[in-house]
Structure 1
Amino acid sequence: MKYTINQFRKDYPNDDVCLDMIFKMRYAKQPCCPQCSQATTFKRITGRRAYQCSDKDCQYQLYPTAGTVFEKTKTSLVDWFYVIYLMTSTRNGVSGKEIQRQLGVTYKCAWRMGHQIRKIMASGGDLLTGVVEVDETYIGGLDKNKHAKDLKPENMGRGKAKQPVISIVQRGGEVRTFVVDNVGSGNIYSLITGNVEKRSKLITDGFNSYKWVGKQYDHVPVKHNNNRVTHGEKHTNTVEGFFSHLKRTISGTHIHVSPKHLQKYADECSFRYSHRDKGQLMFHTILNRVVV
């Protein structure tokens, strides 16, 4: 179900509501005060992002934003929640300049908010299983826009002068993306074995770095040619579709992304793709990760 801007504004009209949400998410399952061990309630301290135990002999204080990306921030919690909303509701993300325009903050502040939220979007967890596609792509500009040193013969070749990226997609499930130094068999081996359950059906193209895959997985290599034809499940269309989304986000929304920060943008795209049918749940998934 789509989470609309009107619903968001109704749910989070001010900082007090946002702080109450963070408090509930962090401490709702805590049956008693950690200081006095009494089953008590916590009351909001006016003018501060803090709650205090209602026991007069205790008065222990909790700070819900401590240890989160909201700690010590002078930017309102509503603005933080709104940036999370934008990054989870837009198809191709939102740029730092757009955050700056909408919130009226400095670009430095907008850029930092975006990157802090992208860190929370990093994927991981259980191994992928079932039918899994793996492929590599390269992020970078056109040759005509590169420096002369990058166009020398020793710098040319598969992925050179561009940043290699490998994605692993479970059909009907999650995608995980990794920015790597090279697409050699060593890198690919560690990524696949660390993210895909053994004996899963693994579909790749005919690149030499995948030749070892058949020893540990049900490997289905796809030979690409000028007359591409999809035969049943023997294709890499899913991961290639994700690459199209990734490149549209980088070249369309952000215009340019440095190799230093590319992994964060890849994590953002992967998160949005993996949760693309979850609407409002995507927004609250980020909030849950913030308070963990």
Structure 2
Amino acid sequence: MARNKVQFQKGISFTQFLKEYGSEEQCFNALCQWRWPNGFCCPRYGHDKHCDLSYRKLKQCNRWRRQTSVTSRTIFYSIKLSLTTWFLGIFLITQDKKGISCMELSRHLGISYNAAWRMKQKLMQVMMERDHQYKLSGFVELDEAYLGGERTGCKPGRGVKGKTPFVAAVETTREGRPIRIKLSVVKGFKNSEISTWSKKHLCSGSTVISDGLACFNAVKDAGCAHDKIVCGGGRASVYEPEFYWVDTVLGNLKSALRSAYHAIRVKYVQRYLAELQYRFNRRFDLSALILRLIFVSPCTPPMPERLLKVGLA
């Protein structure tokens, strides 16, 4: 039996990673290169002539004497940890297939739990904002799902208190191969919610395949064709071939969350969904995943702790 090429990727070894980003100087130079690929340019005045200060890691504009840090106006703004620690954190988060908890991250990096929590939340914010700009097109498998376990004394089914509803969508080729996914928290499965979601995340002209849930008809508001397949309830419903990939994604998602985390607060659910979504959408080149996340991090605005704790509920 042939091996799955995606599953058996080599990625980047820990030794190779340390060779390229094992020192503060290497990380600093890499960040400068990704933030200013065409050379330094003053973010306020646009002047490109500068000098590097010897006593601090700052660049100073020759015309206006304005000093700029490589981490200013980026997700790394006001960090207290070294860049080598941040780069190593990115390595651990991107190369772990099922995700890594903040507790485990803190042990690997030798930092406090709170510092590891801030690092992981910021990097998941980068992943979320990066994927938000992409829309699904072509053939799209769509399904509803919930996060949250059963509670004693509560009735089963939709609308149970304590569960977080979210939409799972998978863009596939005509041959039925998955391309990319969207995992989005919604307030509920209503026509207005699905209409708003589809306009944000689906390209006009796409063909959406879903079960018989009535609210999914709202994808037509985004100019999409809707192919409804009533599969009924029970265990047999998950074996419908039209929903193979969306069911697979949901199964992998819940398995990953259970294995890595004890619990997830509702207001942070979207970030955790974005983490799995980001890795899945870039699964074809595991070795480039680290570089891609480091590359987009300087493009993400600062996210102080007070905003991180607000969440997305």
Which ranges in structure 1 are unaligned for 5 or more consecutive residues?
none
Query: Does residue 1:110 correspond to 2:116, yes or no?
Result: yes
Q: Which residue of 2 aligns with 1:130?
A: 138
Q: Percent identity of the aligned residues?
A: 25
> Partner letter of residue 28 of structure 1?
P
Task: State how 1:1-292 maps to structure 2 within 5 Å.
Answer: 2-30=11-39, 40=49, 42-43=51-52, 45-52=53-60, 61-122=67-128, 123-144=131-152, 148=153, 151=154, 157-161=157-161, 162-171=163-172, 172-213=178-219, 216-225=223-232, 226-227=235-236, 235-292=242-299
Deviation at 1:186, TM superposition (A): 1.3
**Which is worse superposed, 10-19 or 28-37?**
28-37
Deviation at 1:17, TM superposition (A): 0.8
Contact 1:138 1:165 in 2 (8 A): yes
Question: Partners in 1 of 2:93 and 2:43 — Cα distance?
Answer: 35
Deviation at 1:176, TM superposition (A): 1.6
SS in 1 for 2:242: coil
Deviation at 1:36, TM superposition (A): 9.5
* Structure-2 change in CA distance of 1:41 and 1:214 (3 Å): closer
Contact 2:58 2:70 in 1 (8 A): yes
Question: Partners in 2 of 1:41 and 1:67 — Cα distance?
Answer: 18
Question: Partners in 2 of 1:266 and 1:289 — Cα distance?
Answer: 18
Deviation at 1:158, TM superposition (A): 1.1
Contact 1:242 1:273 in 2 (8 A): no
Deviations 1:161-212 (A, max 9, x none): 2110112221232212111221112111111122111221111111121234
Using structure 2 for the length normalisation, give the TM-score. Answer: 0.80
Q: Which residue of 1 aligns with 2:4?
A: none
Contact 2:217 2:226 in 1 (8 A): no
Deviation at 1:58, TM superposition (A): 7.1
SS in 1 for 2:256: helix
Contact 1:138 1:159 in 2 (8 A): no
SS in 2 for 1:143: coil
Question: Partners in 2 of 1:253 and 1:90 — Cα distance?
Answer: 10
* Structure-2 change in CA distance of 1:203 and 1:34 (3 Å): closer
Contact 2:94 2:279 in 1 (8 A): yes
* Structure-2 change in CA distance of 1:36 and 1:248 (3 Å): closer
Decide which structure has the larger Cα Rg and report it. 1
Deviation at 1:38, TM superposition (A): 7.6
Question: Partners in 2 of 1:5 and 1:78 — Cα distance?
Answer: 13
Using structure 1 for the length normalisation, give the TM-score. Answer: 0.85
Contact 1:35 1:58 in 2 (8 A): no
Question: Partners in 1 of 2:93 and 2:25 — Cα distance?
Answer: 22
Question: Partners in 2 of 1:252 and 1:281 — Cα distance?
Answer: 25
Question: Partners in 2 of 1:274 and 1:250 — Cα distance?
Answer: 18
Contact 1:49 1:65 in 2 (8 A): no
Question: Partners in 2 of 1:136 and 1:34 — Cα distance?
Answer: 44
Deviations 1:197-229 (A, max 9, x none): 122111111112123445742322233255459
Question: Partners in 2 of 1:67 and 1:203 — Cα distance?
Answer: 41
The number of residue pairs the alignment matches comes to: 279
Question: Partners in 1 of 2:17 and 2:56 — Cα distance?
Answer: 24
SS in 1 for 2:145: strand
Question: Partners in 2 of 1:200 and 1:208 — Cα distance?
Answer: 18
Contact 2:206 2:224 in 1 (8 A): yes
* Structure-2 change in CA distance of 1:135 and 1:47 (3 Å): farther
Question: Partners in 1 of 2:239 and 2:150 — Cα distance?
Answer: 30
> Partner letter of residue 148 of structure 2?
G
